Amino acid sequence: MNLAITLLRFGFLALLWLFIFAVVLTVRRDVLGTDVRRRSSLLSARRRSIHAPAPAENDSPAAPAAPVERPVYLVVTGGPLLGTAVPLSSQPVYIGRAPDNTLVLDDTYASGHHARIFAAEGRRWVEDLGSTNGTLVGGIRINGSAALDPGVVIQVGETTMELQV
């Protein structure tokens, strides 16, 4: 009988430690945002593509001038940063509470590294970076990436924003 009670006590203690470990991992993910190793591997891949050899000048005829695009802005339409406009370029825009983001939010419902907006396939995309409360596009929670159109509301925590041309 004493052996069974002792085993139950150790089992309960193990479950308690598993719960504490799960809470610590959740808080760590919320505070730190994306995995540092994952981001560094993306950066090293980007660096490798930058150092790729450029084609020789005589390989192709003169390319026509690229059409001039109108500037696109990410404009905060609700929340503490109301009216803030971030110009979008080929570089991604990171959104979250951490100070190393492009758009730093003062929003308790936003994660440290909540989302990023990037250009691909000729349009803008938003990607949720594993945030706790999710990213909404047009009122729908996204998993992974979603294409953006001008005027569609993006919600990160209690902050709303949209693309404006």
The pLDDT score that the predictor gives to residue 42 is 45
Residues 89 and 125 grouped into a single domain: yes
Residues 138 and 99 grouped into a single domain: yes
- Please name which of 98, 100, 133, 130 lies closest in space to residue 115, comparing C-alpha atoms: 130
Average pLDDT of the chain is 81
Domain limits for position 156: 72-164
The pLDDT score that the predictor gives to residue 69 is 59
Per-residue pLDDT for 148 more than 80? yes
Per-residue pLDDT for 114 more than 60? yes
Residues 95 and 146 grouped into a single domain: yes
Residues 100 and 155 grouped into a single domain: yes
Residues 77 and 11 grouped into a single domain: no
For residue 39, name the pLDDT band (cuts at 50, 70, 90): very low
Q: How many domains does the chain have?
A: 2
Residue at 153 is within a domain = yes
Residue at 147 is within a domain = yes
| CATH code assigned at 136 | 2.60.200.20
Per-residue pLDDT for 45 more than 90? no
pLDDT digits (tens, 9 = 90+) for 6-27: 999 999 999 999 999 999 988 8
pLDDT digits (tens, 9 = 90+) for 58-67: 544 555 554 5
Show Cβ contacts of residue 81 under 8 Å, excluding neighbours closer than 6 positions: 103, 105, 106, 159
The pLDDT score that the predictor gives to residue 70 is 67
The pLDDT score that the predictor gives to residue 25 is 86
Residues 99 and 34 grouped into a single domain: no
Q: Give backbone dihedrals phi and psi of 161, rounded to 5 degrees, phi first.
A: -150, 165
Residue at 62 is within a domain = no
* Cα 93 to Cα 116: distance, rounded to the nearest angstrom: 5
